[in-house]
Amino acid sequence: MYGKGRIIPALIIFLGLMTSPIWYKSGEASKMPKPEKPKDYTECVAPTQEMRTSHMVLLNEWRDDILREGGARTGKTPNGTEYIRSLQNGCMQCHSDKKKFCDACHNYTSVKPYCWDCHLQPKEAM
């Protein structure tokens, strides 16, 4: 081939540019956020790991039970503590700083929850 002196360096540069996102930060993942727990934290409605992985399922179950089937507005933790089954009147009473608690993990996982389509967003402290 007549252009061998140009084609091979061009291919190497092309492959380097195309694969640069792969090796640019290889092995370096961003750190998982550590959401700020409430100051007077005693216990949650479920164990931490379960809330971390399945809180959205729990909130949907509460919604379906309370709004669609007329279920009770209160629930009990595994230790017997009574709580209000509500995003705003239950969860947000303890986890009051949406930016430090909810948004930290949702932004990390690139999740846009639809909670705030119906619920009023809590006012942020200035």
Mean pLDDT of the region 78-83 = 86
Among 27, 85, 41, residue whose Cα is nearest residue 59: 85
Predicted local distance difference test score (pLDDT) of residue 58? 92
DSSP per-residue letters across 21-88? HHHHTTT-PPPPP-PPPPTT----SS-HHHHHHHHHHHHHHHHIIIIIH---SEEE-TT--EEE--II
Domain boundaries, the chain: 54-116
In this prediction, residue 90 has a pLDDT band, given cuts at 50, 70 and 90, of confident
In this prediction, residue 27 has a pLDDT band, given cuts at 50, 70 and 90, of low
User: What pTM, to 2 d.p., does this model score?
Assistant: 0.68
